[in-house]
């Protein structure tokens, strides 16, 4: 497994774990359990942001190696847009989190994973 594929898979797994913990906050039995779930979710969210930054850098490097390929530039722009969406979701992750926020987080991570795979295969 390439480093890029590994990072994109980690990003997706962290997004899933973050969403799972967020759901755990609303389903917690008490304030202590909710605080624990929130702490874990925040930890996963921070790790996810770091992975996404690393993934973004790797995609830029991968596309730079394919100098005249306009398609790769478009993929990088797509990924930058998705990263922006995911970061904005992460920034308000504990304030009035909706199902659409969670769907956006997972959808963005899946899209980034797919884009990373396309970049590797092109």
Picking from 109, 103, 97, the residue whose alpha carbon sits closest to that of residue 49 is: 109
Say if CB 58 and CB 52 are below 8 A apart.
no
Per residue in 2-30, pLDDT tens?
777 787 778 778 888 887 887 787 788 88
Can you give the pLDDT at residue 98? 63
pLDDT in tens, 49-103: 788 778 777 776 665 555 445 565 666 666 666 666 666 666 655 566 666 666 6
């Amino acid at each position: 497994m390439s480093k890029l594929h590994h990072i994109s898979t980690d990003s997706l797994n962290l997004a899933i774990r973050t969403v799972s913990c967020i759901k755990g906050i609303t389903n917690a039995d008490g304030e202590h359990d909710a605080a624990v779930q929130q702490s874990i979710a925040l930890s996963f969210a921070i790790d996810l942001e770091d992975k996404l930054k690393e993934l973004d850098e790797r995609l830029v490097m991968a596309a730079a190696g394919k100098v005249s390929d306009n398609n790769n530039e478009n993929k990088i722009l797509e990924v930058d847009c998705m990263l922006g969406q995911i970061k904005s979701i992460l920034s308000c992750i504990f304030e009035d989190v909706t199902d659409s926020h969670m769907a956006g987080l997972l959808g963005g991570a899946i899209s980034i994973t797919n884009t990373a795979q396309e970049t590797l295969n092109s």
